[in-house]
Structure formats: C-alpha cells, structure tokens
C-alpha cells in the first residue's frame, strides 16, 4: 500500500519536473482555478519560473481565457483545476479548441481510483470527460519519485505539448489522480531524483514541426489548373496559426490578378485584389451567376458569409483547398483536391498581365462600397463595424463575438493596408466565453478590442473579473439591442410574443452596473464621432472599459436590407 503512505514530496517532485519540462518545450502560460485536490498541480505550475500563471475563479472563464491566449500566441496554454464539476466547466472551451484547432493542455485533478464511485466528495467520472474533443487522453497516477518516474513525467510533458501542436492542433487532456497529503510538510529538495532535465534547458524530447512542402508535381499541377482556368477566385477564411498568411495571399492574388474574397479573420482583406463586399454582392442572384468562376482556390476555414458559402456550394468549378491542418471544411462536398502545400509556392515568375476579370470584380466592389457608405447613415451596428475597420491601428487585435458582430465585420470591414488582426471563436460558433477569450488575447499583449452583443456579454459576464483580478486592459464595444438581434433575420421572427420571450430574450440589463461591479469604465456612445473619440481615448488609457452603443433589433434588420438593396442596385446600374 505504498501510495497511501507516500509523502506529498513525491507528487510535488514529479509535478515540478512535469512543469519544468512544459516550460522547456515552450509553454509560457498556465491558467489555474482554485480547489483542494488540485493543490499540488496548481502550486507546481504557479512556482515554475518559466511559466506565467494567472488565476481564475470560474473554470469556464479560465478555460476560455486560455483559449484566447493560445489563439493569440499560437502556442499551447495549460489549464489546471480541481475535481468534479470544476473539470466539467472546461467542456465548452475544450470543444471550441477542438473544432477551431487550438492547442490546449487540460490538466484536471481527480480522486484516486479507491475514492471513485464510493460517495467521496466532489467526484464525478472524469475519465475521457471531453470525449472525442480531446486529441489525446491519459490517466496519470500517483507514484514514488524514482528516477524512472521523473523520466516518464518529463517525457509525458513533452508528449502532451507536442501532441497538442502537431498535425491538426487541439486539446490534450491529462487526468491526475492525487492522494492525500496534498500539501508539503517540509521544503521540496532542490535535487531531483535522476538529476533533472537535459543540459542547456533543452526539452527531454524535441519535435521540430514539419513544414508543409509542396513537391514539384503538386505545384506544377496547381499552376496548370490556374493556366487552364483564368476565371479563378481565391477565398480566404480564418487561419490563426499562420498570421503572415494574409499578406502572402494578398500579394499572390495581385500577382495572379485574381479576386480575393477574404473574411477579415483571414488577415487577407488587403491589397489591390481584395473584394471586401462579396457578402453583399453575392446576395444578388444575377451578379453571383454572372461571376461564377471556373476554379476556386480556398485558404483557411470557410468564411462565415452565407451567400458566399451558398455560391461556392453551387459551383461546378474545380475547387482546391489549401488545408495545412486537415480541417476538411467542405459541407457541400465540392472540394476536389486538398493540398498541404504552402501557398507561397504558387507565386508566378511574372505578374499576370490580363487583369480584366479582376477589374470587373473590383469595379463592383467599389460600387458596393459607395452604396454602403451612402446607406449607413448614423450610428448603427454596421456603422460600428465599419468604423472599427477604418479606425483600429494595425497593431491592435479585434476579437469579434459570434452572432451579428462576426457577420457585420465580414460585411462592412473595408479592405485596407495593414489591417488589425481579427480573432473569433468560430469553431463551434458559441456565444459563450467571449469576454474571457478576449481577456486571454489581451494577456498576450497589445491593444485588444472586443466587439460583442448584449446576450453574449450577459452570458460571460463573469469574464469581466479578469479586469479586476488580473488588471488586464480591454476595450469592449458593446452592441446592446436588448436581445439576440440575429434572430430577427430568420423566419422565426414571425412568432410574435413567443419569439420575443424565448428566442430574442430581452433582459433589460443596465451594463453600467456590471462595469461598476467589476471595476471597468463605462460610456454610452451615440454618434460615430463619439465612437471614434472614445475608442482612441480608451486605447490610450490602457484600462478596461465598456463603450456601449444602443440599437434597435427591428431597425437593424431593416438597415441591413436597405444596404443589400443598395448594393444590388449599384451593381445593376454599373453593368
């Protein structure tokens, strides 16, 4: 019965080696949550000098914070919590991380086997708790700190870290069975059984990431496809782990003289080939049919725009997906070829001379931009998205919530040189955890702005605690239409009072009180000029603040419809 009499020293020696090894691999951040069973795990991470640990009372907030940090940095972030429903509260973020391919190390404390299913407190079945959302799962038992054990734990840390990152990135879940005593009786010896990690700070196991290389056959094939199909388009969606890709695609599209239909989440809405207003343009059936391409090159995830998706789904054209992470984003089964090649390999020796096809698109895009500018008028939800697109500095990061914010940013963000980085939780499209995700992004450094609806803010109101407890700066631009405005675009809107109560869900919350509770600034914004001034002021102040814009759900739908009509009209009169 050695395990039951084992002193806490053994667990702490093992977890210190584990945390040290994570830091050697490149892990910089851990997000801890409080509890008793998790004490050795949490303290070992917090005391590792190479890791910055932040503390989170609510595990759901903590896990979305980790997700935001991992998105912003492209590196795995560790999470550690106690047993029971604490671990279950990680589930939404773990699912989002799986769907969006974000590397996370989920470390949960658990009771040892002899205390499971026997009425011990705070115990649920944590075995494979996240199901197929975890890329890899392992039970980690409690063992004496022998040299063999230390070596195994160091290897385990490396394996968890590299597994989260390699191939299709995602969350790895290690469930640590921990026995009492959970606290040290004496200081931990500096010496490690077996002598510690490798010399020079190297990880126990290094695993250089394989770069996707395109063989000449693949590149020749792609070039031939482009040659044979000059009426081609490029479509770019979310691609977080390659922040430089947006610029590469913009340059490539310009060289190939191909229209680049890029969602702002791709970072590619820039340069001379960008078509910023494809969402509004493709709502016009005649425009969509007349501009059907012979070839589609897809990069990153499928953009959010429904008209774009429907157009792509209906095309008979050859569609080639550049999909370095095997995401298989093709619900309509239209993609004929998936390549892992780096798009940089497609750069032509000389830029294409014939720019007629691109110019047709550019003309329509300019006309659409003018029509939108004429229609938007005063402060409205689309106007806020458009203002952010113009106003945010290139080194800022914009986090956009699901629902209308991500759609309005896609529809109304202009193409511009050096746009801000745009991030969003678009794996599972949840409105949960958005505030925490944005604070996680802010923790990676740099000015961060969150564009969010009122329901999404209410959903993660506890995430605001990061402003007070962690002192992190964040500018929250709140579009408050007192409910889910997106549902007014759907047929369910006809269902009257039941729709209002159960689908639109108005709440009447005064968010000034939330701001006061959590120590954020709060300002009501009533005009585009006031928005610009408040945005500049809030960014300069390096504090956390809510800039609230009140809108009306029904008017918002009407405005969107007016914009779509104006864009369709502009295309027809230009044709």
Ligand X SMILES: Cc1ncc(C[n+]2csc(CCOP(=O)(O)OP(=O)(O)O)c2C)c(N)n1
Q: In what order do the strands lie in the sheet with 171-177?
A: 52-55, 29-32, 77-81, 104-110, 171-177, 136-140
Residue 195, burial from CB neighbour count under 10 angstroms (0-12, 13-18, 19+): exposed
Element (H, E) at 25: helix 8-25
Applying CB under 5 A, which part among 367-375, 381-389, 454-462, 492-500 lies near Mg ion? 454-462
Applying CB under 6 A, which part among 234-242, 371-379, 402-410, 511-519 lies near ligand X? 402-410
454 binds ligand X (CB under 6 A): yes
- Residue 293 binds which entry of Mg ion, ligand X, none, with Cβ cut-offs from 5 to 8 Å by kind? none
Retrieve residue 257's tokens.
């003289």
Q: Which of 519, 514, 434, 517 is nearest to 471 (CA)?
A: 519
Would you say 392 or 431 has its CB closer to ligand X?
431
Instruction: State residue 7 phi and psi, 5-degree precision.
Output: -70, 160
Residue list 34-63, contact with ligand X (CB under 6 A) = none
- Residue 70 binds which entry of ligand X, Mg ion, none, with Cβ cut-offs from 5 to 8 Å by kind? none
Q: Which of 119, 127, 411, 397 is nearest to 275 (CA)?
A: 411
- In DSSP notation, 451-511 reads EEEHHHHHHTGGGGHHHHHS---EEEEEEE-SS-GGGGGSGGGGGHHHHIIIII------H
| In the complex, least distance from residue 412 CB atom to ligand X, rounded to whole angstroms | 13
456 binds ligand X (CB under 6 A): yes
Residue selected from 429, 462, 495, 519 as contacting ligand X according to rule CB under 6 A = 429
403 binds ligand X (CB under 6 A): yes
Would you say 138 and 73 are in contact if contact means Cβ atoms under 8 Å apart? no
Applying CB under 6 A, which part among 178-186, 273-281, 425-433, 506-514 lies near ligand X? 425-433
Residue selected from 297, 324, 404, 474 as contacting ligand X according to rule CB under 6 A = 404
Would you say 513 and 537 are in contact if contact means Cβ atoms under 8 Å apart? no
Which residues have a Cβ under 8 Å from the Cβ of 299 and sit 6 or more positions away? 234, 235, 236, 237, 239, 245, 249, 266, 268, 321, 322, 343
Sign of CA dihedral 409, 413, 415, 419: negative
Closest residue to ligand X, judged by C-beta, is 453
Applying CB under 6 A, which part among 41-49, 169-177, 197-205, 399-407 lies near ligand X? 399-407
| In the complex, least distance from residue 508 CB atom to Mg ion, rounded to whole angstroms | 12
Applying CB under 6 A, which part among 142-150, 322-330, 344-352, 481-489 lies near ligand X? 481-489
Would you say 70 or 478 has its CB closer to ligand X?
478
Residue selected from 279, 381, 387, 454 as contacting Mg ion according to rule CB under 5 A = 454
Residue selected from 431, 441, 444, 547 as contacting ligand X according to rule CB under 6 A = 431
Would you say 570 and 368 are in contact if contact means Cβ atoms under 8 Å apart? yes
Interaction pattern, residues 468-507, with Mg ion; x per rule: CB under 5 A: -------------x---x----------------------
Applying CB under 6 A, which part among 138-146, 195-203, 448-456, 531-539 lies near ligand X? 448-456
Which residues have a Cβ under 8 Å from the Cβ of 358 and sit 6 or more positions away? 257, 258, 259, 273
453 binds ligand X (CB under 6 A): yes
| In the complex, least distance from residue 406 CB atom to ligand X, rounded to whole angstroms | 9
| In the complex, least distance from residue 460 CB atom to Mg ion, rounded to whole angstroms | 14
**Cα–Cα distance measured from residue 343 to residue 336, given in angstroms and rounded to the nearest whole number:** 17
Applying CB under 6 A, which part among 214-222, 302-310, 321-329, 424-432 lies near ligand X? 424-432
Q: For the chain, first and last CA: distance in Å?
A: 84
Residue list 156-195, contact with ligand X (CB under 6 A) = none
**Cα–Cα distance measured from residue 174 to residue 159, given in angstroms and rounded to the nearest whole number:** 11
193 binds Mg ion (CB under 5 A): no
Would you say 80 or 475 has its CB closer to ligand X?
475
**Which residues of this protein are in contact with ligand X, per CB under 6 A?**
401-404, 429-432, 453-456, 481, 484-486
């Amino acid at each position: 019965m050695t395990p039951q009499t084992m002193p806490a020293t053994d667990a702490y020696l093992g977890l210190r080696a584990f945390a040290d090894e994570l830091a050697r691999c490149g892990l910089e951040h851990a997000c801890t949550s409080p509890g008793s069973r998790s004490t050795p795990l949490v303290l070992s991470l917090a005391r590792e000098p190479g890791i910055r640990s932040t503390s989170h009372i609510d595990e759901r907030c903590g896990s979305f914070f980790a997700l935001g940090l991992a998105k912003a940095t492209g590196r795995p972030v560790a999470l550690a919590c106690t047993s029971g429903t604490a671990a279950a509260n990680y589930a939404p973020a773990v699912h989002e991380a799986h769907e969006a391919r974000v590397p996370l190390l989920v470390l949960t404390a658990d009771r040892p086997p002899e205390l499971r299913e026997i009425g011990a407190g705070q115990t649920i079945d944590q075995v494979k708790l996240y199901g197929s959302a975890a890329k890899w799962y392992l039970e980690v038992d409690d063992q004496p700190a022998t040299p063999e054990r230390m070596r195994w734990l160091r290897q385990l840390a490396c394996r968890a870290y590299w597994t989260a990152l390699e191939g299709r990135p995602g969350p790895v879940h290690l469930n640590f069975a921990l026995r009492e005593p959970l606290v040290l009786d004496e200081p931990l010896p500096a010496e490690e059984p077996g002598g510690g990690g490798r010399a020079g700070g190297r990880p126990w196991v290094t695993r250089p990431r394989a770069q996707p290389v395109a063989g000449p056959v693949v590149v020749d094939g792609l070039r031939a496809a482009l040659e044979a199909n000059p009426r081609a388009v490029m479509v770019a969606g979310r691609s977080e782990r390659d922040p430089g890709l947006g610029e590469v695609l913009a340059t490539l599209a310009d060289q190939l003289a191909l229209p680049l239909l890029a969602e702002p989440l791709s970072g590619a809405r820039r340069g001379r080939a960008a078509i910023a207003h494809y969402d509004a343009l493709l709502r016009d059936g005649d425009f969509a049919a007349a501009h059907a391409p012979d070839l589609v090159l897809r990069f990153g995830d499928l953009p959010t725009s429904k008209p774009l998706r429907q157009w792509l789904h209906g095309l008979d054209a050859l569609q080639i997906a550049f999909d370095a992470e095997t995401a298989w984003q093709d619900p309509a089964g239209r993609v004929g070829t998936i390549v892992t090649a780096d798009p940089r390999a497609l750069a032509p020796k000389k830029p294409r001379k014939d720019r007629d096809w691109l110019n047709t698109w550019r003309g329509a895009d300019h006309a659409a931009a003018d029509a939108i500018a004429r229609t938007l008028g005063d402060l409205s939800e689309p106007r806020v998205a458009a203002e952010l697109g113009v106003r945010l500095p290139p080194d800022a990061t914009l986090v956009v919530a699901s629902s209308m914010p991500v759609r309005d940013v896609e529809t109304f963000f202009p193409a511009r040189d050096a746009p801000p980085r745009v991030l969003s939780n678009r794996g599972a499209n949840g409105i949960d955890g958005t505030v925490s995700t944005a604070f996680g992004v802010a923790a990676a450094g740099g000015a961060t702005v969150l564009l969010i609806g009122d329901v999404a803010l209410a959903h993660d109101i506890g995430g605001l605690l990061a402003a007070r407890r962690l002192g992190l700066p964040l500018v929250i631009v709140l579009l408050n239409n007192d409910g889910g405005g997106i549902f007014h675009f759907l047929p369910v809107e006809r269902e009257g009072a039941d729709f209002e109560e159960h689908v639109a869900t108005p709440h009447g919350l005064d968010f000034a009180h939330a701001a006061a509770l959590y120590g954020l600034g709060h300002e009501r914004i009533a005009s585009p000029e006031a928005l610009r001034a408040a945005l500049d002021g809030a960014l300069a102040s390096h504090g956390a603040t809510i800039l609230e814009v009140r809108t009306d759900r029904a008017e918002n739908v009407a405005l969107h419809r007016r914009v779509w009509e104006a864009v369709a009209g502009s295309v027809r009169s230009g044709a």
